Structure 1
């Protein structure tokens, strides 16, 4: 199992569509006893939160966010935790909006910058 996410800051490796997370978004992760949560902000996201569980190297969580245009959005995501050769953490994500149509995949990786 890859190391704990607690205290790590992650960022997307590529921009998504407008109103979604992008390379300017930072996720500050927390983990304790199989429970994961994070706060995130940046780019088109004013504030976001996610909460869920971790079983081995699989995360299952729901997220909700406030966008810069004043709209809110929510969805579900399943992520695989991967440890990169340089020791950083990568999350390979499959997500689906629950507040609107749409789904996709994305990748976020550990960065050294401070989070939201």
Structure 2
């Protein structure tokens, strides 16, 4: 199992569609006893939260966010945790909106910047 996500800052490696998370979005993760949660912001997202569970290298969580245009959206994501050769953490994500149409995949990686 990859190391704990607690206190790590992660960012997408590529932009998604407008109004969604992108390379300017930063996630601050927390983890304790199989629970995970994070706050995120940046780009088109004013404020976002995710909450879920971790079982080994699998994360299963729901997310909700407020966008710069004043709208909210929510969805479900399953991620696989991996460690990169340089020791940073990578999450390979499969997500689906629940509040609107759409689904996809994305990758977020650990960065050494300040949290949202």
TM-score category, normalised to shorter length: over 0.9
Distance in 1 separating the partners of 2:23 and 2:100: 22
2:58 corresponds to 1:58: yes
Length-normalised TM-score, structure 2: 1.00
Structure 1 residue aligned with 2:89: 89
Task: Give me the TM-score of the superposition, normalised by structure 1.
Answer: 1.00
The SS at the match of 1:65 is strand
CA distance in 2 between partners of 1:32 and 1:19 (Å):
30
Q: Distance in 2 between matches of 1:27 and 1:115?
A: 7
CA distance in 2, matches of 1:2, 1:82: 6
Partner of 1:103: 103
Q: Which runs of 5+ in 1 are unaligned?
A: none
Question: Does 1:7 pair with 2:7?
Answer: yes
- Write the deviation string for residues 17-45 of structure 1: whole angstroms up to 9, x where unpaired: 00000000000000000000000000000
Q: CA RMSD in A?
A: 0.2
1:23-102 paired onto structure 2 within 5 Å: 23-102=23-102
Count of residues in correspondence between the two structures: 116
* Rounded Cα–Cα distance in structure 2 between residues aligned with 1:54 and 1:21: 22
Please report how far the alpha carbon of residue 46 of structure 1 lies from its aligned counterpart in structure 2 after TM superposition.
0.1
| Structure 1 segments of 4+ aligned residues over 6 angstroms from their partners | none
